[in-house]
Structure 1
């Protein structure tokens, strides 16, 4: 396993919810990342964010790690959920909140 994959595995394994995004939750750098942060805020869950613009190895590595070509990417309890479109569909259907509750994800403080 490459060094980058090990770093990604540690991030995904050490945090209940991880959002790989462009920018930060306070200053998203693309509309999709902004939407993903808004969805997680509405779900009222604590999450770790990783700014892929600050680390080109992570930016490229996360795409092969998940076999998903776009960013943002959401992981919940170590499992890849999807990008912002999938997050939006799940959120609108009530499935994302149900997943967070089922996985007993910590609430935002």
Structure 2
């Protein structure tokens, strides 16, 4: 039997090119890691959907099992889990995040 929370998360992840599960909203992030993740995406001009896990306890707990990743924020690109803010920062600094989003057709090259 499919977990209904995982089904909801899967729908969200597969309905948008870029999804950031975060604490708070892009305008009002509720933690430093979420704030950094938003800043990185905005800096490279990537449009993204955000999900405020503080507003939904099922999603907040479910996303950790869905990705098998213990922390939030979590970034998904084209349905694939990319990582949290540390991985995003490393990829951003190396130019890999912008390259990946460009290759995936999310942002212009």
Task: Tell me which interval the TM-score lies in, with the shorter structure as reference length.
Answer: over 0.9
CA distance in 1, matches of 2:62, 2:86: 21
Q: Which runs of 5+ in 2 are unaligned?
A: none
* 2:52 is the alignment partner of 1:51: yes
CA distance in 2, matches of 1:42, 1:55: 27
Moved over 2 A (4+): none
CA distance in 2, matches of 1:41, 1:9: 24
* 2:69 is the alignment partner of 1:60: no
| Superposed displacement of residue 43, structure 1 | 1.2
Matched residue, 2:78: 77
CA distance in 1, matches of 2:6, 2:73: 17
| Superposed displacement of residue 106, structure 1 | 4.8
Matched residue, 1:37: 38
| Superposed displacement of residue 9, structure 1 | 0.2
* Count of paired positions: 107
TM-score by length of 2: 0.96
CA distance in 2, matches of 1:88, 1:45: 14
Matched residue, 1:28: 29
CA distance in 2, matches of 1:77, 1:42: 19
TM-score by length of 1: 0.96
CA distance in 2, matches of 1:2, 1:16: 23
Alignment RMSD (CA, Å): 0.8
